[in-house]
Chain A
Amino acid sequence: MLNIRIIPVVFAVLFAASAVSAATPASPKNVPVKPDLSGFEAKDMPYDKGEAVLLSWPAGPADVPGAVWQVYAASGKDWVKADEFPADKKLAADIELPFWAWDRHAKLHVVQLDMPGLFNDFKIGTEYRFKVKYVNGKETAESPELPAAPKPNLFNLARLNNLLLLIVTTIVFFWTVSHAKRKGGLFIRRIAGLDAIDEAVGRATEMGRPIFYSTGIGSMSAVPTIASTSILSEVAKKVAAHDTQLKVPHFDPIVMTVSKEIVKQAYAESNRSDSYRDDINFFVSQDQFSFAASVDGMIHREKPAACFFIGHFMAESLLLAEVGATTGAIQIAGTEQESQLPFFFTSCDYTLIGEELYAAGAYLSKEPMLQSTLKVQDFGKAFVMLSIVAGSALLLAGTWFKMDTLVTVVKHLFKAY
């Protein structure tokens, strides 16, 4: 006969056995998630010259480690694999465009394809087909094929900040020029180097020795060279008025041609056209040290009373200035190259620093129009100073208070794209 006390034990054992042998339900982690390819888009890359296409599709939970996205493009029948990358890479935030031209927060995969790099026979406007493929081990998924044709865009919206700044600067420029003729004129602080030009020319006249003027080794498109020619004009007028000898050796033939016109006009304005000679401006050499050696030799032999070194100078600055100093000439120098300024400081009597060079034309000619444009430089500098202070303060605040949006906005506003 069965002992009745064993029945609960049997039930307990049976219950335990059933609990152990029960099938465990499938864990959510092991179920592969299919990527969402319904939002796959292929379109022309915005703000470019028409050689790139932009592909985008939603990012999602399928972007797991180990999975990859493959991008394909085709012009005819054959598909070309354009790109392959881990599934968690290449998101909207990776595209380097500013916030006003691109939504960095969109939860999208974004791939920019450079078409000429993929197809040798690429032509702008030609339609190509694109698709993406998701591969995660044996799990794959493919998007539908979509056509897109890269087209040139008329405006690079990413450079809007730059354009707005240019427009504002131009407006300020025209405003100051239109208000040029004001009572009392514009105050410009004294620039000793420019005031000394009269002294230098006077000294040369008294001593009967020539004046050497060098416009540097820059080309005519270099702004310091343009500034130097403005000063040359004023120096030439004074030289013409005093009937002193002027010599202008040149590094660049185009600068020489322009300087010839400037000096000729200066002599004409001083009613000394009869004293003008074509060989006042002469070409020396387009090699830096050949130019320096030649001018040094001339300075050493002719012992000028005054030397002007104004323009773009590099290593030859000290060679020229030191030789001039040994001859006892009064020397006035100015360059935008701050690495050469120390050499000019030690060897020359007067040195123009940085943008004193650019203000020289207005300072010497005292033309109201030119003087008023100095205001634009002041505006520009004020804007830069304000931007540095405000931008730094905003970035600091954004970092402290963890306001990422503010930090992004400030960084994008002041970046050149």
Chain B
Amino acid sequence: MKNTIEKILKIDRRLIFLALTLLLVFPIVRPLGLPNKNIGNEVKALHDKIEGLPAGSFLMLSLDYDPATRPELHPQAVAVIKHAFRKDLRIMILTLNAGATGLIDEIGERIPKDIAPSKKYGTDYVILPYQPNPVAVMTQLGMDMFQIYDKDRDGADLKSMPVMKGIRNVKDMQLGMCITGTAMLDYWVAYTADKFKMPFAGGTTAVSQIGYAPYLQTGQLKGLMGGMKGAADYELLIGEKEKGTAGLDALSLAHIMVIALIVVANIMMLWLKYL
């Protein structure tokens, strides 16, 4: 018995990988439809913040994530854009991460198709090109953004676009938001939100979410979405279930598997030690 338990404790990790694969593939093939009941307070705060903005308000959305964190962060971006368009907000999408350009192109493709077909590029929203040196961009956005962004990603003049009417810097914008898998949100808070007193919110990966709780408590961030669960919560709040909600089943099973493995491993360890 002891030998068996020792063998199980030293099981080949590839078998664990296989078990996890099967557990993750199953809900994708056959969705469980688990209900998402509890919505995080910070997600609710973000939703309420956007909900409270009057029509015509300006939202600056910085999508600073790359394809690696796409499954967690892309649904967040899509949900926020849908909500913002529903509230008739003007949206400016930019990125400080070179890897995000393709993902933004995908969003740009989807807006006229299914996200908000009635919204017009240049009048209701604009997409800016990638800019290196994030700190320089953040600082300049607080002073005169047209010094650094004079054209949109297609090379059209930015200042003359109707969507940019009355906007010169972040002080003219009603809300800023950064969705990122890196520490970029820290920089946005330090160099833009705090420095220029701009209301700011964020979207991060689940593992980074806890790091931003101090900012939520001090009011430096008005709301925060964390990981796929945050995206699913937001989709529930706006009543449009998408990839965020779809991934919750797999997420649930993976979590339960981790808990089960830890419990089983420790029971076996105790068994070996005391019996």
Contacts and interface: CB of A to CB of B under 8 A. Distances in A.
Nearest to B181: A315
Nearest to A340: B207
A9 B99 CA distance: 102
A337 B205 CA distance: 14
A185 interface: no
A359 to B, nearest CB: 22
Nearest to B211: A339
B243 interface: no
Interface in A282-296: 287-289
A288 B66 contact: yes
A287 B69 CA distance: 13
A324 to B, nearest CB: 14
B68 interface: yes
Contact of B168 (A117, A337, A339): A117
Given A287-B99, A339-B207, A416-B194, A116 B66 contact: no
Given A117-B168, A288-B66, A338-B211, A314 B99 contact: no
Contacts of A114: 171
Given A314-B183, A315-B181, A416-B194, A339 B210 contact: yes
B137 to A, nearest CB: 15
B208 A339 contact: yes
A84 interface: no
A339 B194 CA distance: 23
A117 B194 contact: no
A114 B99 CA distance: 37
B197 interface: yes
Contacts of B208: 339
Contacts, number: 27
B211 A315 contact: no
Most buried by B among A114, A287, A339, A416: A339
B182 interface: yes
Contacts of A339: 207-208, 210-211
Interface in B18-55: none
Residue among A116, A315, A337 with most chain B CB within 10 A: A315
Contacts of A314: 181-183
Nearest to A286: B98
Nearest to A336: B183
A116 B205 contact: no
Given A96-B197, A314-B183, A416-B194, A289 B172 contact: no
Contacts of B144: 116
Interface in B191-218: 194, 197, 205, 207-208, 210-211
Given A96-B197, A287-B99, A289-B68, A315 B207 contact: yes
Given A288-B68, A315-B181, A117 B172 contact: yes
Nearest to B194: A416
Contacts of A287: 66, 99
A315 B68 contact: yes
Contacts of A337: 183
A164 B197 CA distance: 23
Interface in B149-189: 168, 171-172, 181-183
Nearest to A416: B194
Interface string A284-313: 000111000000000000000000000000
Among B66, B68, B168, B171, max chain A CB count under 10 A is at B68
A216 B220 CA distance: 28
A117 B143 CA distance: 11
A288 B194 CA distance: 28
A340 B182 CA distance: 12
Nearest to B171: A114
Contacts of A96: 197
A389 B54 CA distance: 42
Contacts of B168: 116-117
Interface of B: 66, 68-69, 99, 144, 168, 171-172, 181-183, 194, 197, 205, 207-208, 210-211
> What 7 A-B pairs have minimum CB-CB distances, sorted nearest first?
A289-B68, A339-B207, A339-B208, A339-B211, A314-B182, A117-B168, A116-B168
22 contacts: A96-B197, A114-B171, A116-B168, A117-B172, A287-B66, A287-B99, A288-B66, A288-B182, A314-B181, A314-B182, A314-B183, A315-B68, A315-B69, A315-B181, A315-B207, A337-B183, A338-B211, A339-B207, A339-B208, A339-B210, A339-B211, A416-B194
Given A96-B197, A117-B168, A287-B66, 11 more contacts: A114-B171, A116-B168, A117-B172, A287-B99, A288-B68, A288-B182, A315-B68, A315-B205, A337-B183, A339-B210, A339-B211
Interface of A: 96, 114, 116-117, 287-289, 314-315, 337-339, 416
